[in-house]
Amino acid sequence: MFFGATFFCCTISLGVLSFALWNPKNQHDHYTNYDLKTKKKYHLKIQEVLNSSIYNNQYAAILHSMNDTAVSGKVILQLAIDTTQQNLQIDDELVVYEKLAEIAAPLNPHQFNYKKYLAQLGIYHQLKIPNQQYLVLENTTRTLFGIAASQRLKIISKLQKANFGTDELAIIKALLLGQRDTISEDTYTNYKDAGAVHILAVSGLHIGILLILLQFLLRPLERIPKGKSIKLMTIVLLLWCFALLAGLSPSILRAVTMFSFVAYALYLNRPSNTFNILALSMFFILLLFNPMLIFQVGFQMSYAAVFAIVWLYPKLQTLWFPKNYFVRKIWQLLAVSIAAQMGVLPISLFYFHQFPGLFFLSNLIILPFLGIILGMGILVILLALLNILPDFLVYGYNTLIHLMNTIIAWIAQQEVFLFKNISFDSVQLILSFGIIISAVIALNKATFRNVAFLLITIICFQGWSTYALYNTKQQTNATLLHQSRNTILALQEGTELTFVTSDNTKIESLAKNYSTARRIKTFKTEQLKNAYTYVNNQLLVIDSAGIYPNLRQSHILLCQSPKINLDRLIDSLQPIVIIADGSNYKNYIKRWKATCAKRKLPFHYTGEKGAYYLE
């Protein structure tokens, strides 16, 4: 008892200390400890190339100095796309003269919080640079990340010279090089709906399969003196070489770290120690160096899947042991898939709000061949680098990838088995894990205590779900959302939601997120009207026509850039607040804001302050 309490307190204290040491803002030379209100000269080094937007190339960069003062910290760098200039690469260094801007928070409720996500990575600001307003330095120092990136670009250029299809090459780059930016939206959606999107990200699945391949291929080393030790060192070295080749992304680093410890457990030939090895790799290696990893979805799903496989797979195997070899292998693959899915199901429902019912089919078809796909892919890369890649191997590998894409697309089209827009909150996440854990314990040892705990967790889950639905039915609210070149007013009456909008063709994604988060059962759209009375408030809508009824002491929404005299309107209607949404011209908004400031009248622009709630 004393030892357990002491160990718990020490672990918590170690976690607090680790977070304090990791937190960039606690470093005395971090850039946030300096004045950021004016433009300054920044010296940066590119650390990571991010996905580009329509107008900008985006990078994660490390600050070296600010006005020639040495500083530390990471920022997002946005460079306007210029077709006349070559894109920057990892390890490039540049000097810019600009003002740092804070990462914008989401403007609407239930949207992805990019600001919070970057803060968990230690990034708090961004630099937006106009066309060519920066100086690229020469003869810069190289890092391990830069060397890996240059080798990856070399491999990609070699593969592009081969006769691979566009979609097939994109999948090869994702599977073997960790590059998913060229995958088409349709292909990615197919993999997601089929429950096989994990195949596209180099993670624990790929490293685990690679570990199994290396264990098999290097088995002859065990026959020589100290062969097992040589085999272990070779496997770990090759795993980290693959991690370097695939870009050393956080998901790859955690997967290789985890399976390096698994390889050590296999070397010790102590399968019972697997839990301890996984816990050691998670808590005392990864989380000590970066405690914020625990909040990343990939980290949570990777370890949840591996822990579930290690714990549940042996128990599923004891339920049935077919005598037929072929049937037994199918059952083993199905058992692994079920175990992994049970581990990640609550997390998947919480973050993505959907469940692919045919996950077992896609995994049953793809997983047996994923080892062949990875093995052939590594062979293809090696031969391409040596300029001896034969055409028949290109054709065969391209056909194999094409077949996998076709199968995944067919499974994704079975929409009746895809359950989308599932409302699932943090309490349900915790209780669902309680149900899974207590169910496995009860099935393993059906004592009164274990069965009672299972029933209690099920009742708690049902009780909370009922309460959450009841709470939704009692809600009545109105929210003006922000969207560029559109007006959107969300009116909720219990589980019914009405989206009043000037353009209903642009609201699908926004409406889906809003409805799922608020447990909406029925949803409809309506065209915008001139006035609303809602939640004891009057809302007067003035659009481009500039015509409005005489409703005094109301909330006034200006949309679609109406040509009005705001001073005269204020004198006439004496509004409570002036609201402007994303459908207005920026110069109009600037003028209205100044007028309201002069008249000491509240002004709310959704593009700056976010959604407006009528209370």
- HEC string for 46-74: EEEECCCCCCEEEEEEEEEEECCEECECE
pLDDT at 220: 85
E strand map for 346-485: 355-356, 418-419, 476-483
Highest mean pLDDT among 50-64, 271-285, 490-504, 594-608: 594-608
- For residue range 304-326, list pLDDT tens digits in order: 887 888 888 888 888 888 888 88
The residue to which tokens 């780059």 are assigned = 173
The residue to which tokens 């469940």 are assigned = 355
Residue 270 pLDDT level (bands cut at 50, 70, 90): low
Q: According to the 3-state scheme, what is the secondary structure of 494-559?
A: CCEEEEEECCHHHCHHHHHHHHHHCCCCEEEEEECCCEEEECCEEEEEECCCCCCCCCCCCEEEEC
CA distance 12 to 544: 59
pLDDT at 232: 87
pLDDT at 125: 93
When mean pLDDT is compared across 32-46, 130-144, 224-238, the lowest value belongs to: 130-144
Spell out the residues 6+ positions from residue 225 whose beta carbon is closer than 8 angstroms to its own: none
Q: Residue 210 belongs to what H/E stretch?
A: helix 204-217
pLDDT at 124: 92
pLDDT at 318: 80
At residue 488, what are phi and psi to the nearest 5 degrees?
-135, 120
Highest mean pLDDT among 165-179, 225-239, 451-465: 451-465
pTM score > 0.85 for this model?
Answer: no
Q: According to the 3-state scheme, what is the secondary structure of 145-198?
A: HHHHHHHHHHHHHHHHHCCCCHHHHHHHHHHHHCCCCCCCHHHHHHHHHCCCHH
pLDDT at 461: 95
Residue 602 pLDDT level (bands cut at 50, 70, 90): very high
Closest CA to 405 of 206, 180, 174, 171: 171
End-to-end CA, the chain: 52
The SS3 of residue 135 is: strand
Q: Answer with the residue of higher pLDDT: 137 or 198.
A: 137
- For residue range 533-547, list pLDDT tens digits in order: 876 778 899 988 888
| Six-digit token string for 117 | 């996500």
Q: Which long-range contacts (CB under 8 A, 24 or more apart) does 214-220 make?
A: 214/238, 214/239, 215/263, 215/266
CA distance 516 to 522: 11
Q: Is the pLDDT of residue 55 over 70?
A: yes
Cβ atoms of residues 72 and 31 within 8 Å: yes
- For residue range 185-223, list pLDDT tens digits in order: 888 888 888 877 777 777 777 787 788 788 888 888 888
- For residue range 427-467, list pLDDT tens digits in order: 999 999 999 999 988 888 888 898 999 999 999 999 999 99
Q: Is the pLDDT of residue 172 over 80?
A: yes
Q: Is the pLDDT of residue 154 over 90?
A: no
Q: Residue range 34-45: average pLDDT?
A: 90
Tell me how far CA of residue 311 lies from CA of 101, 318, 338, 479, in angstroms.
Answer: 47, 12, 12, 46
Residue 83 pLDDT level (bands cut at 50, 70, 90): low
At residue 479, what are phi and psi to the nearest 5 degrees?
-135, 130
The SS3 of residue 20 is: helix
Q: Residue range 28-38: average pLDDT?
A: 89
CA distance 194 to 411: 6
Q: Is the pLDDT of residue 41 over 80?
A: yes
In CATH, 26-141 is 2.40.50: yes
